[in-house]
Amino acid sequence: MKKNYLITIIGPTAIGKTSLSIALAQHFNCDIISCDSRQCFKEMKIGTAVPSEEELASATHHFIQNKSIFDNYSVGDFEKEALAKLDELFLKNNVQIMVGGSGLYVDAVLKGFDDFPDIDEKVRVKINTDFEQFGIDYLQQKLKELDADYFQKISTENPQTLQNPQRMKRFVEVCIGTGKPYSSFIGQKKNQRNFIPIIIGLEAEREMMYNRINQRVDIMMNEGLLKEVENLIPHKNLNALQTVGYRELFDFFEGKTTLEFAIEQIKMNTRRFAKRQITWFKRTENVLWFDYLTDKKEIVNSIELSIN
């Protein structure tokens, strides 16, 4: 049987992943799976740096602006839909492209997730109620008490997760609902995939990366990000809108900051986000790393060697 290959392009925001993905899709005559937790939302076009109309027309893309911020959409949903789409695409071509900066979504497709038991709805309601009353500190303390090892792991490797209410609520509800540590369910299941991943990483010197991020934010503002965010003010509490580029401008519209300060905050928070992306992706195994200025032909040649 012919082997299937999924070329996956990773790297921090504004590094040039879209441009490379289109070049590779044209070379291999295949489609592109977008692996971005925000570009899938049709109401968030400018602030998520959705590929331009010209770029979208240059290759067939999937999972771009195909959902609404009002949809209840999870990484697990994306995993199922992306794998189903890949099964369909591999029938036409045994090489396909996946690109995106959302590490969790990349991992979902390449490796899958562990199995967790169903949790009683009463447990979920109680945790939500306690969170509303006591805040994120309650969730942090509860996880520390119920799964000290996992709490320590997050604190060391991914501390921003401790500030994420959705993730923290999930950790705590599994601990309480099963009577076992959340970490006890990790690594139990081996997910089978019908493709061989070829992972391409793009990187740049930090100063260059930061300059590219700052330029991208300026471009977004010129393209109308302020208006896009203004239209979303009635829905600002939705989970999808707790996103860099949106939160800061909501503060501006509420009179908490000046516009100039909000733009600087977007740049700073995007740079911080990029640092977290790098930390995540550097833990990924078997990545072929390239400087973002590397000639695309050189990257194509490396992929050809991996396939042949």
Q: How far is CA 106 from CA 38, 39, 60, 130, in A?
A: 13, 14, 19, 32
The answer to whether 181 is a known ligand-binding residue is no
The answer to whether 179 is a known ligand-binding residue is no
| Tokens read off for 294 | 């590397």
Please identify which residue in the block is written with the tokens 């330029």: 215
Which of left, alpha, beta for 25 (phi over 0: left; psi -120 to 50: alpha)? Answer: alpha
The answer to whether 189 is a known ligand-binding residue is no
Radius of gyration from C-alpha coordinates of the chain: 20
The answer to whether 274 is a known ligand-binding residue is no
Q: How far is CA 87 from CA 4, 71, 175, in A?
A: 10, 24, 35
The answer to whether 16 is a known ligand-binding residue is yes
The answer to whether 12 is a known ligand-binding residue is yes
By the 8 A CB rule, do 150 and 171 touch?
yes
Distance separating alpha carbons of residues 94 and 195, to the nearest angstrom: 9
Q: Which residues are annotated as a binding site for ATP?
A: 11-18
Q: Which residues are annotated as a binding site for substrate?
A: 13-18
Q: Which residues are annotated as a binding site?
A: 11-18
